[in-house]
């Protein structure tokens, strides 16, 4: 039977396992080796602690750089850029939860939509409706995305020098809404610190000042202009305008266009295009000569009733698969005739889709 205890016949000696194998050492050598190993282990622990601290500092620095990168690049939305989304208002076996207005606003590619002239007015109108009543319903991420898109819209207008008036109205509406909402900040109306929203309001005032100081550059080409066209052709083009304010602005260019912009038939068709016969009959205005004042009636009707909205490209909603998508993009529809299931969605209709 082997003896596992300390050998009494050789006191002070013991077997120690080393890298080269088992060695027999005395007590003094054993204490020396133990002290050396303790020093080595202590140094190793200190080295490990130092590496751990360096690793933690590196992770913290990496996270800080990532956070600074996201904060410094707020103009670049880091959201989805889907061409279509599934609008579900309740939980099913296949899908849980529901789609909100903020989620749809984040996922649909509105950043690319503002670059398309066909969709620009549609997005601006949607931003205006959200600014009037739906801004508190957006999440913090959606509100940040809203301000990013708005900044891109302003930069596009400053570069192209077009659509200045609707953007001014949008900024004025948004600023008025924020003034009333910031007063109720203690009621959790808006997401985020109040200083952030004060800074955003200062940006809105700065954008308004930039739009007020914009200088429209004259075209450099020397070709034919609108004033060189015959009067009949000029009047025909003016019949294509759907906003009476554009006609007033056009009439201020020169005396000849002033006469054309006062054409009664022009304003009559404009009234009939935007308003119903019943609405027109309620707001009849006669001149001293017994003629209808169509121009005055138009602006009076605009104050009383919403005018007709027309867009070159809009969002589409498939009633069969409940998918919201842009008009020129396809979506995974399972209907036999997908075109019959799609209907155009106005900006107000887009908001109504998410009212549960």
pTM above 0.75, yes or no: no
* Same-domain check for residues 195 and 129: yes
Angle at 22 between CA 17 and CA 26, to 5 degrees: 85
pLDDT single digits (tens) 277-289: 998 888 888 877 7
| Sign of the CA dihedral with 284 first, then 286, 291, and 293 last | negative
* Same-domain check for residues 92 and 189: yes
* Same-domain check for residues 147 and 201: yes
Average pLDDT for 174-184: 83
- Dist. CA 294–CA 296, nearest whole Å: 6
* Same-domain check for residues 287 and 173: no
Of 213, 234, 269, the domain-final residue = 213
pLDDT at residue 275 tops 80:
yes
The region of weakest confidence among 45-59, 122-136, 181-195 is 45-59
- Dist. CA 200–CA 206, nearest whole Å: 10
Residue 136 belongs to some domain of the structure:
yes
Of 303 and 45, which is predicted with more confidence?
A: 303
Of 118 and 220, which is predicted with more confidence?
A: 118
Residue 354 belongs to some domain of the structure:
no
Residue 255 belongs to some domain of the structure:
yes
Average pLDDT for 267-282: 90
Residue 172 binned pLDDT confidence (cut-offs 50, 70, 90): very high
Residue 174 belongs to some domain of the structure:
yes
- Dist. CA 325–CA 345, nearest whole Å: 10
212-217: long-range pairs with CB below 8 Å, 24+: 212/168, 214/158, 214/161, 214/164, 216/161, 217/161
* Same-domain check for residues 199 and 249: no
Q: Interhelix angle for 194-212 vs 140-160, to 10°?
A: 10
Residue 18 binned pLDDT confidence (cut-offs 50, 70, 90): confident
Domain count within the chain: 2
* Same-domain check for residues 109 and 180: yes
Of 275, 304, 333, the domain-final residue = 304
Residue 98 belongs to some domain of the structure:
yes
Q: Which domain holds residue 159?
A: 84-213
Q: Tell me whether residue 95 is exposed, middle or buried, using C-beta atoms within 10 angstroms of its C-beta: 0 to 12, 13 to 18, 19 or more.
A: exposed
Residue 266 binned pLDDT confidence (cut-offs 50, 70, 90): very high
């Amino acid at each position: 039977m082997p003896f596992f205890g300390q050998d009494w016949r050789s006191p002070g000696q013991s077997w120690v396992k080393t890298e080269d194998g088992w060695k027999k050492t005395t007590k003094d050598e054993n204490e020396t080796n133990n002290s050396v190993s303790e020093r080595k282990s202590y140094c190793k622990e200190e080295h490990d602690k130092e590496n751990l601290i360096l690793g933690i500092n590196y992770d913290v620095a990496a996270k800080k750089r990532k956070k600074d990168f996201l904060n410094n690049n707020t103009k670049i939305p880091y959201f989805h850029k889907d061409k279509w989304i599934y609008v579900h208002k309740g939980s099913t076996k296949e899908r849980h939860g529901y789609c909100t207005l903020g989620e749809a606003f984040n996922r649909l590619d509105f950043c690319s939509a503002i670059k398309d002239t066909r969709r620009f007015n549609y997005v601006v109108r949607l931003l205006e409706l959200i600014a009037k009543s739906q801004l508190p319903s957006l999440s913090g991420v959606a509100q940040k995305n809203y301000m990013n898109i708005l900044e891109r819209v302003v930069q596009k207008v400053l570069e192209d020098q077009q659509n200045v008036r609707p953007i001014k109205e949008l900024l004025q509406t948004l600023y008025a809404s924020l003034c009333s909402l910031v007063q109720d900040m203690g009621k959790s109306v808006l997401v985020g610190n109040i200083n952030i929203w004060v800074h955003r309001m200062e940006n809105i005032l700065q954008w308004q000042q930039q739009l007020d100081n914009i200088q429209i550059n004259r075209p450099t080409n020397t070709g034919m202009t609108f004033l060189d066209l015959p009067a009949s052709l000029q009047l025909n083009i003016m019949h294509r305008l759907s906003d009476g304010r554009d006609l007033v602005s056009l009439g201020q260019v020169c005396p000849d266009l002033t006469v054309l912009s006062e054409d009664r038939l022009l304003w009559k068709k404009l009234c009939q295009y935007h308003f119903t016969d019943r609405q027109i009959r309620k707001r009849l205005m006669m001149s001293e000569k017994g003629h209808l004042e169509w121009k005055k009636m138009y602006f009076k009707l605009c104050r009383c009733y919403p005018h007709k909205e027309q867009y070159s490209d809009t969002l589409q909603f498939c009633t069969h698969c409940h998918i919201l998508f842009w008009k020129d993009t396809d979506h995974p529809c399972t209907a036999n005739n997908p075109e019959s299931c799609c209907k155009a969605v106005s900006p107000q209709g887009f908001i109504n889709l998410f009212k549960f």
